[in-house]
Amino acid sequence: MTRGATLSVATICFDGFGDEDFVPTFELAPRLGVRDLEINAWYGRNLTPAGVDGLLGRCRHAGLRPATLQVSPFDPGPESADLAREVARWLWLFEVAHRLGVDVIKATGARRDTRGGLAAVIELLGHVVPVAEQHGLTIAVENHVGNVLEHPEDYRRIFEEVPSGAVGMCLDTGHFVASGHDPAAVAREFADRVVHIDLKDCTGPGPGRFVRFGEGVVDFDAVLAQAITPAFGGYVVVELPLVDRATVIADLQAGVRIASRHLSPQPSHEH
């Protein structure tokens, strides 16, 4: 990617974790003034051909643009049938990305104590990454507290065993703090593999209590100074899980201000 760092906002910020059919997103997101949208496609209706066409039409109507696609976690499981189903799912997700016009698909892993573990994720990537390469797609592997994709050593293993440039790190600032890591140090170590950045604040190590920007301990400026190198061409995503719809625009504007300190000026988005 050579477009430079780009600001976006995730639909989770407006919809929360429930199946809202993106109604709050398309009502509220245009008010934020950020055109690029990360689509959190976690429900069946989001991934059917009709669902994808509907998303595109609603984005055009709202003056928004699909930027990246977040999908349900990697979950290949320990059995060959589980892996086959997961490979088939990812092949369709590549088609969904094509239809949406996005080139990044983001996913995290299953819980560390279940299913096939990190080895199964790596095996899955081995099957689907060549297809991603053929289609010019990037798989952004997101860290998450308590999951098989959590610690720097998990990423060292992934990048050693799957060296393809079609796989990169989605650096989630809040989840690295929750897992006991300094996200700025992670960004420094993996600067050449960070392809996506999720801005999220956190109260500190533990199960992950994510709070409004400025109410936690994340040093966003330190992280972004390390992560946004001249070669970085990915998205910086404001990704505060919904706190209160009555304050959502102000809550997200705080994240936009943080990101904007490290981004080149972008065209304003007016409606």
pLDDT band at residue 2, thresholds of 50, 70 and 90?
A: very low
- Domain ranges for the chain: 6-260
What is the per-residue pLDDT for 266?
54
pLDDT at position 269: 41
pLDDT for residue 153 is more than 50: yes
pTM of the model as a whole: 0.94
Segment 243-262 mean pLDDT:
96
pLDDT band at 10; cut points 50, 70, 90: very high
Span 176-205, pLDDT tens digits: 999 999 999 999 999 999 999 999 999 999
Average pLDDT, stretch 165-174?
98
* 27, pLDDT greater than 50: yes
pLDDT > 90? residue 171:
yes
In this model, does residue 265 exceed pLDDT 90? no
- Mean pLDDT (whole number) for 58-68: 97
Arithmetic mean of pLDDT over the chain? 94
Mean per-residue pLDDT, 70-90: 93
For residue 112, the model assigns a pLDDT of 83
Lowest mean pLDDT among 75-79, 105-109, 197-201: 75-79
Tokens 């430079």 found at: 4
What pLDDT sits at residue 1? 35
CATH class of 6-260: alpha beta
**pLDDT tens readout for residues 108-152:** 998 887 767 899 999 999 999 999 999 999 999 999 999 999 999
What DSSP letter does each residue of the chain carry, written as one string?
--S--EEEEETHHHHTTS--TTHHHHHHGGGTT--EEEEEE-SHHHHSHHHHHHHHHHHHHHT-EEEEEEESPB---SSHHHHHHHHHHHHHHHHHHHHHT--EEEE-B-BTTSTTHHHHHHHHHHHHHHHHHHTT-EEEEE--TTBSS-SHHHHHHHHHH---TTEEEEEEHHHHHHTT--HHHHHHHTTTTEEEEEE-EESSSSS--EESTTSS---HHHHHHHH--TT--SEEEE----S-TTSHHHHHHHHHHHHHTTS--------
pLDDT, residue 270, reads: 39
Per-residue confidence (pLDDT) for residue 113, from 0 to 100: 75
